[in-house]
């Protein structure tokens, strides 16, 4: 499934780095768009657990990364 999230990310470079990190998660395809402040995730199942893991992965790269519900 494929889902879009509103996010807060500070710079274009951070967005690209976060995108790379998320794509390294098994079974996840991610796009992080700095300009529109949106993230698209593609995975078999997008639930809170996955979202939590994605957020943790992203925060390692960019501590101020946020997913807005």
Partner 1 sequence: MDEKQKKQLRWICLTGALYALILIILHIGPGASLNVFPVNFLLFLIPYCMVGWKVIRKSIINISHGQVFDENFLMMVATFGALAIGEYSEAVAVMLFYQVGEFFEDFAVGRSRRSITQLMDIAPEYANVERDGKLTQIDPEEVKVGDIFVVRPGERVPLDGVVTEGSSMLDTAALTGESVPRSVHTGDEVISGCVNGDGVLKIRAEKAYEDSTVSRVLDLVENASDRKARTENFVTRFARYYTPVVVFAAVAVAILLPLLTGVSWQQGLKSACIFLVVSCPCAFVLSVPLTFFGGIGAASHMGILIKGSNYLEAAAKLKTVVFDKTGTLTRGEFSVTQILPAGEVSKEELLKKAACAEHYSTHPVADSIRRAYAQTGNDPAAVDASEISENTETAGHGVSVVVNGQKICAGNRKLMDAEGVAVPPVETAGTVVYVSEEGKYLGAIVISDIVKPEAKEAIRELHEAGVAKTVMLTGDRKASGEAVAEELGIDEVYTDLLPADKVGKVEELLSKEDKKSRLAFVGDGINDAPVITRADVGFAMGSMGSDAAIEAADIVLMDDNTRKVSKTVWLARRTMRIVYENITFALVVKIAVMVMSLFAVANMWEAVFADVGVSVICILNAMRMLRVK
Quick one: 37 or 51, whose CB is closer to partner 1?
Answer: 37
Residues 62/12, Cβ–Cβ less than 8 Å = no
Mask: binding to partner 1, 6-45, rule CB under 8 A, as x and -?
----xxxx--xx-------------x-xxxxxx-------
Give the nearest distance from C-beta 48 to partner 1 in angstroms.
21
For 41, counting Cβ atoms within 10 Å of its Cβ (0-12 exposed, 13-18 middle, 19+ buried), the class is buried
What does each C-alpha distance from 51 to 15, 17, 45 come to in angstroms? Answer: 17, 17, 10
Binding site for partner 1 (CB under 8 A): 10-13, 16-17, 31, 33-38, 60-61, 63
């Amino acid at each position: 499934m494929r889902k879009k999230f509103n996010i807060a990310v500070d710079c274009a470079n951070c967005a690209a780095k976060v995108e790379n990190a998320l794509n390294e998660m098994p079974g996840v395809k991610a796009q992080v768009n700095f300009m529109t402040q949106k993230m698209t995730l593609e995975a078999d199942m997008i639930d809170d657990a996955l979202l939590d893991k994605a957020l943790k992965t992203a925060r390692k790269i960019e501590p101020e990364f946020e997913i807005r519900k």
